[in-house]
Structure 1
């Protein structure tokens, strides 16, 4: 709780994003090339990594309620990855049809 007190003493109720080690968030964490396909593949990879993490957490606990919550989050990551994959296919199809004269 002392760390939380320090946060409020310095920033009151303002948001101050940081990782679990207390390292402040920076824009260097954003992966983007400006190419829709490359960016979507990066998003798909992030969703798959999150899915794997949730699965590891599910495997580590025997608490059924916690497992149910983690399973919901894991399934959400799967759905996100599927939607991104659908978007990739839409872009590929559109690029194949597009003609420039």
Structure 2
């Protein structure tokens, strides 16, 4: 199925923790346009795809999204490691910290936990591919 090399394709090396920035970046893990939504979207839609080449493409894209999830999780972890209590409170990271310490929990920047309502899998190839394009368009728009 997959070969996992047990290393990040692009290593993350953050020298200075920044919990304020982590509060924003975390939405790329579990927010509506985050990597968890993207990976689940493609990996679930592939089952109903009637065309093998498109099914393979959805599998490839979903797998790539999982790699992005791993990199963004490493970023959030490194932004929040070794924090003092004062740094946690000053950044407003205390509510997250109480529940998860420096564990990675999929949520949006607003604090809303990840939900499968962030992605769609209807079983209709045209509907699913249109949803994919809309979601990727939203993710690209969010970056600008």
Ranked by relative contact order (alpha carbons within 8 Å, sequence separation 6 or more), the top structure is 2
Partner of 2:64: 76
> Does 2:23 match 1:35?
no
Residue 95 of structure 1: CA displacement? 3.3
Bigger helix share = 1
Gaps of 5+ in 1: 1-33
3-state DSSP class of the match of 2:83? helix
Tell me the residue number matched to 1:93. Answer: 81
Q: Deviations over 1:23-69 (max 9, x none)?
A: xxxxxxxxxxx931122210012111111111232011132111111
- Tell me what 1:6 maps to: none
Larger CA Rg, structure 1 vs 2: 1
Structure 2 unaligned regions, length at least 5: 1-18, 88-144
Aligned to 2:69, the other structure's residue is in SS state helix
C-alpha separation between the residues in 1 aligned to 2:50 and 2:42? 14
> Any idea what the Cα deviations from partners look like across 1:6-27, whole Å, max 9, x if unmatched?
xxxxxxxxxxxxxxxxxxxxxx
What's the TM-score once normalised by structure 1's chain length?
A: 0.55
Q: TM-score, normalised by structure 2?
A: 0.40
